[in-house]
Amino acid sequence: MANVNRPSGFTPVKYLNGAPWNGQANVYSIAASYGTALYIGDPVISSSTSDAFGVPGIAIGAETGALRGVIVGLYNSGSTTAVMGAPMVGNISNNNLIYRPASDANVWYAAVVDDPNVIFQIQEESNGTALAATEVGLNQISATGAGNGYVSGWQLSSYTGATPNTTATLQLRLLGLAQLPAGTNVFGAYAKWLVQINVHELGHGTGAAGV
């Protein structure tokens, strides 16, 4: 059975010690002037600033380099200025929006899984040579993708983007295929992989070498 093509960015599933992800995340701000749409499942980096109340800001990540974490929730503040406690009180001005549009007039907030020990599931792209069993334990990069109006379109790069390697500065660690019902997830295009962010802003510096 061929793998289903259903990208959704990064989905937290568990911790390195095997415990299931418990839903924990930290709140970050998104400036009203920020010109890129953001979706649940998108990887993000620090924006090197904060809102007026000191909530740190984020921006979309890149295919290479360090990441801060992954968006798992988005909150519209309902205001063009920072709002104290907006993510907690749920002051939502438009319940129909489930992603943050580019250059929205309002300040938005995001729940971000920024723990370096979280393992994520992500779909492999279909460009060129697919990753194989021999790549488990190596490092690789991600692949940008536009959201579909609901969730992130980011994927895991195949050989087209970069060759998996032991190089410590490669962004993601390949931990193996997600263990899904028999026959629904096999090596090849659109395979669902388990990965750890290897080059993490809050983790081990420039990353760890693959094995």
Please give the structure tokens belonging to residue 144: 């940008």
Q: What's the whole-model pTM score?
A: 0.93
pLDDT for the residue numbered 92: 44
pLDDT for the residue numbered 93: 47
pLDDT for the residue numbered 36: 96
The predicted model gives 108-122 an average pLDDT of: 96
How many CA atoms lie within 13 Å of 4's alpha carbon, on the beta-carbon side?
7
- Tens-digit pLDDT profile for residues 90-107: 434 455 568 999 998 888
- Tens-digit pLDDT profile for residues 53-69: 999 999 999 999 999 99
- Tens-digit pLDDT profile for residues 151-203: 999 999 998 878 999 999 999 999 999 999 988 999 999 999 999 999 999 98
